[in-house]
Amino acid sequence: MNRHRIAVIGLGQRIAHVLGAMVEVGWMLEVAGYADPDPVGLPILGGFGIDPGRAYRDETDLLAHGPFDLVMIGSPNHLHQAHLEAAFAAGFPIFCEKPIVRTRGETLTLARRLAGGPTPALYVGLVMRSMPIVREVIARIDAGELGELVSVDATEHLHPEHGAYLARNWRRREAYGGSFMLDKVCHDFDIFGRIAGGRAATVASFGGRRLFHPGRADAPKTYEDDSPAYALRDAGWAGANDPFHSDMDLNDHQVAIVRYETGLALAFHSNSHVALQERRWYVAGTDGTLIADLVRNKLMVRRALDRRKPERIDFATRTADLHNGADQAMALDLKATIEEGRAFPVTARESMEAGLTVMAMDEAAARGVAVDCSPMWAEFDAASAISAMA
């Protein structure tokens, strides 16, 4: 069995959970070391029984002590670009958490870098691509069970604890994480682009900050049973104590509509403080409809002219992080890619396209206009084709 030597740049909470999932599914790994001035993921690694290895001064120092079978980047989003550049220069395969980069400028820089010459393999942690229920959704659509896709209604509604975590965690600041939608739902828009079979053509969006702000500082801080609210999880690096008094500068709710170049129309509704948690995709085609309930991990499908009961599939696995076994599935995908040469479920280009789609929605919300995405894609394609023009 292969044993893999791993370097970690940014030992945060998320990358620690990914490493734990890798061990759970049978990876033989050695974390040779990490670079992180505030490694908040250390206790999580300890809980999985993983030795974090040596602490290095910075990523340059760490990468100089290779070779590594995999460099894992789990730093805050604003550091991804620099850490990717360092890992590219070192020449070792890379796993980077989503979103791969944070801004349109960083996306174009990365596209030019990937197109400009040979780079190490790059895998992106868009974990929903590995979820069994999502794979089933894609397979059903690819098989033509729904006919031509016409419209999608999708949601991502967070319970108050999760929303409060985002309002206290480093993701609350645009300078660190990008937008609320970019960090939270780039997963979904990666899948939507995949099933649409094309890119977003026009987007519009509205949102704001009406839930976690000082004007609601006197809102109740306990549940009806007197248990404390809004403090379930440690806020991690650069965390704030109070979600209502933090320096958050992002939306805490947002809606968007998207018209894809293939004609698919999509409506998306996200809210970070709800009593009835939901992450659901309602996909309607000319010949059938499916509903994917990603919280309860259940799928329902029926043909349009079928009066029988819908087909129902319960994928059974439920986890508190709502990934519902996807971390383990992604760990298996990564293992199969590295050890057997199988294709990883999502490419770096697809991850950049998902990010750009969300960035266009954020631009639409900020400007209060519908945004034509064609100039954005032209710019991205030009950056991606730089090697052809050299």
User: For the chain, which domains are there?
Assistant: 3-126 (3.40.50.720), 129-326+340-381 (3.30.360.10)
Can you give the pLDDT at residue 233? 78
Tokens of 221: 């801080």
User: Is residue 158 within 8 Å of residue 185, measured between CB atoms?
Assistant: no
- Coil vs helix vs strand at 6: strand
Instruction: For the chain, list residues with pLDDT below 50.
Output: 387-390
Nearest to residue 266, comparing CAs of 151, 376, 132, 175?
151
Can you give the pLDDT at residue 388? 42
Can you give the pLDDT at residue 1? 57
Where does residue 131 rank: exposed (0-12), middle (13-18), buried (19+ CB within 10 A)? buried
Can you give the pLDDT at residue 234? 85
Can you give the pLDDT at residue 321? 64
In angstroms and rounded to an integer, the radius of gyration of the C-alpha atoms of the chain is 21
User: Is residue 273 within 8 Å of residue 208, measured between CB atoms?
Assistant: no
> Model pTM greater than 0.85?
yes
Tokens of 98: 């989503």
Identity of residue 39: P
Identity of residue 166: L
What does DSSP say about strands 149-157 and 278-285: parallel, antiparallel, or unpaired? antiparallel
Give the strands of the sheet with 94-97, arranged side by side: 54-56, 28-35, 3-9, 70-73, 94-97, 122-125
What's the rounded Cα separation, in Å, for the pair 71 and 319?
Answer: 27
Can you give the pLDDT at residue 286? 98
Q: What is the pLDDT of residues 275-297, one digit of tens each?
A: 999 999 999 999 999 999 999 99
What's the rounded Cα separation, in Å, for the pair 82 and 89?
Answer: 11
Identity of residue 35: A
Chain centroid to Cα 248, Å, comes to 20
Size of the chain in residues: 390
Q: Is 147 left (phi over 0), alpha (psi -120 to 50) or beta?
A: left
